[in-house]
Each structure stands twice: as C-alpha cells, then as structure tokens.
Chains A and B, each alone.
Chain A
Amino acid sequence: MRERRPATLDDLDRQLLWALQDDLPLCERPFAVLATGLGVSEEEVLQRLRRYLAEGIVTRFGPFFQVERMGGAFCLAAMAVPEERFDEVTVAVGAFPQVAHNYRREHALNMWFVLAATRPEGIVETARAIENAVSLPVWLFPKEREYFVRLRLRP
C-alpha cells in the first residue's frame, strides 16, 4: 500500500468521518439515519463515503469481525528483515490472507504484522508458512491480556 498524504477535508467530511467510525444502525436505510443526524441528504452521505473509499481515506466500510469470539485468534508478529530483501519479503508476507495489516517500523525487528485466523492453530500454521516462504524467523507476540480502550480518530 502506498503512503498517503493527509487528505483535504471540509467540515462536513470531518463530521461524517467521525460519525462513520461509530456503529451503523441495522435498519432499512441506515445512511438516512446518519444523514439526519448531520443535517444533510442521504445521497450526500453515500456520495462522500464512495469518494473516501475511492481515494483511500477510508480503507473499508463494513463489519469488523472479532475472530476470537468465533474461536479464532489474532496475533502480533515481527521479523528482522535484511534491508536488501525488504521489498521481496513485503510482497511474500502480503500474499497471505491471514495478514490483516503490516507496518514497517524502525527497529532491528523492522516488519510488524497482525495475523488473523478463524481457527487458533491458524496463527502458528501461518507463521510457519511465512517462515518457509521467506526463510526468516517469525516472532509471535500473542496478547496475554488486553487493557480496554476505544479511540476514535478525530479527523
């Protein structure tokens, strides 16, 4: 994924992007509910949301799945990737559907990604498959405990 510069947003974008991070109602016309709250038309909400997705301001709009609740698992993982192999390894790791996101970070462990699997064994299986694919060790950092926070980004 390419780097993004901060988008140019107007006041309505800001309000809408804030509201869109909240749970969409389960009703016949949920965008109309959102629109009423913001004092704009339903079509305006939909048009803007389509634009956010097209421009990459929003990467996805839909249900957020909690794989742990269905017996699966998430796991943070990291690798120390030699600089000259970084691009090649990025492509190989990105090809695994279990890799939900991946960030380059400035550390000896310079590639940090999150694995998501619908079966708990899927984490270790995927980590081993990545190790085989790139011939580098994958370090797993499963969460032992989560301390609850819920942050919405103020656009």
Chain B
Amino acid sequence: MNGEAPFVPDERDRALMLATQEGLPLAVRPYHALAERLGWAPEEVFARLARLHAVGVIRRIAAAPNHYALGYVANGMSVWDVDDERVDELGQWLAAQGEVSHCYRRPRALPLWRYNLFAMFHARERVEVERAVASVAALLAARFPGAVRAHEVLFSSRILKKTGVRLDF
C-alpha cells in the first residue's frame, strides 16, 4: 500500500469490474465485446478501465498461469524468524533475489508461529527450491550475522483452490 487515499469505485466501475471477474471476453475486440455485454458505449469501457488502471485498482490485464502446468511444480513458502530491528533490511535484500516471487513481513503468532518474514520460491523441482533457500540462508548469515534465528520451507503439496480475487461488493 502506498498511503494514498483509497479509490472508491462508483456503481458503474463496480459493474465493469464484476463483468470482467470471470475474465475478459476472448474476442478480436475484447473491450467492445465487454461494452456490448454491459450495454455501454465502448468509449466508456475504455475510459473507465484506463482510469481504474491509472489509480492502481487494476494492476494489469493479463494471464494468471497455472504454475504446475508451466512446470513450476515446486512452490516453497520460506519463512524466517528475524530480529525485528533488522527485518526490513533483510526483507528488501531477500526480495531482490532472483527466485523470490513475493516477500512480506507479517506478525508472529506465538507460541505456534515464530516467523515474521515470508518469501515465496518457485522452481521446477523441490530440490531447486531447497538449494535456492539454502544459498539465500548462507548469504543472509554472512551478510546479516545473527539476524536470522530460524527458518523453514513449507512446500505446497496440493492446490485446493485457485480462482483468484472475487469482488465481494
């Protein structure tokens, strides 16, 4: 979040977003098809999508690939118990590593959960994820001595749901 005031979509923005929730029409002129579906002028569809995009409510219009189908069968959530004073420094460094797709600081849930830094790794094989995490762990230990108290990798063994965001307006 960048601290800007939230953008409040109006009635027609909501209708437009709900109409694309299942996906964009796969037509030669997809935005015109969308306009037709809504009974709107295509100009309004373009103008509203451009605005939602410009304010960041729409991040991008793109494909959500199935990691497994693309061969990325190993999906490892690496979790790190890091000194609170240094977690941001380590998080920034970790995010810059090539194999990391997401990196977040999150609260601990003691005593059940001690980790406060999460970084996702994707690779074609589990051993590649293990290797990447081990190499990052060694680099972290050398670069930020004593800052990491423990880490582990939680592999996903099954996708239980992957519909993406559904807008609960």
Interface residues of A (CB under 8 A from B): 1, 3-7, 9, 17, 20-24, 26, 28-32, 42, 46, 49-50, 52-53, 55-71, 76, 78, 90, 93-94, 97-109, 111-113, 116-119, 122, 139, 141-149, 151, 153, 155
A30 to B168 CA separation, bound complex (whole angstroms): 29
B154 to chain A, nearest CB (A): 4
The reply to whether B160 and A102 contact each other, CB–CB distance below 8 Å, is: yes
B28 to chain A, nearest CB (A): 6
Q: Which 6 A-B pairs have the closest CB atoms?
A: A71-B6, A147-B95, A20-B63, A102-B160, A23-B60, A4-B68
What 1/0 mask marks residues of chain B from 14 to 45 whose CB sits below 8 Å from any chain A CB?
00010011111011111110000000000000
The reply to whether A105 and B154 contact each other, CB–CB distance below 8 Å, is: yes
- Can you list 5 residue pairs at the A/B interface with Cβ under 8 Å? A5-B68, A21-B63, A28-B32, A63-B49, A146-B105
Given contacts A6-B70, A97-B166, A103-B158, contact A145 B113 (CB under 8 A): no
The reply to whether A106 and B106 contact each other, CB–CB distance below 8 Å, is: no
Residue of A nearest to B60 (CB): A23
Q: Which residues of B contact A106 (CB under 8 A)?
A: 154-155, 157
A55 to B69 CA separation, bound complex (whole angstroms): 9
The reply to whether A143 and B20 contact each other, CB–CB distance below 8 Å, is: no
The reply to whether B106 and A144 contact each other, CB–CB distance below 8 Å, is: yes
The reply to whether A66 and B56 contact each other, CB–CB distance below 8 Å, is: yes
Q: Which residues of A contact B8 (CB under 8 A)?
A: 70-71
Interface class of chain A by DSSP: mixed
The reply to whether A1 and B105 contact each other, CB–CB distance below 8 Å, is: no
Given contacts A50-B26, A65-B17, A101-B162, contact A21 B50 (CB under 8 A): no
A21 to B156 CA separation, bound complex (whole angstroms): 22
The reply to whether A70 and B7 contact each other, CB–CB distance below 8 Å, is: yes
A119 to B169 CA separation, bound complex (whole angstroms): 8
The reply to whether A28 and B29 contact each other, CB–CB distance below 8 Å, is: yes
The reply to whether B68 and A3 contact each other, CB–CB distance below 8 Å, is: yes
The reply to whether A4 and B69 contact each other, CB–CB distance below 8 Å, is: yes
A148 to B97 CA separation, bound complex (whole angstroms): 11
A57 to B68 CA separation, bound complex (whole angstroms): 8
A107 to B8 CA separation, bound complex (whole angstroms): 39
The reply to whether A42 and B28 contact each other, CB–CB distance below 8 Å, is: yes
The reply to whether A145 and B112 contact each other, CB–CB distance below 8 Å, is: no
The reply to whether A113 and B165 contact each other, CB–CB distance below 8 Å, is: no
A76 to B105 CA separation, bound complex (whole angstroms): 11
The reply to whether A31 and B30 contact each other, CB–CB distance below 8 Å, is: yes
B42 to chain A, nearest CB (A): 8
A7 to B72 CA separation, bound complex (whole angstroms): 11
Q: Which residues of A contact B164 (CB under 8 A)?
A: 59-60, 64, 100-101
The reply to whether A69 and B6 contact each other, CB–CB distance below 8 Å, is: yes
The reply to whether A144 and B105 contact each other, CB–CB distance below 8 Å, is: yes
The reply to whether B59 and A4 contact each other, CB–CB distance below 8 Å, is: no
A148 to B49 CA separation, bound complex (whole angstroms): 24
The reply to whether B160 and A105 contact each other, CB–CB distance below 8 Å, is: no
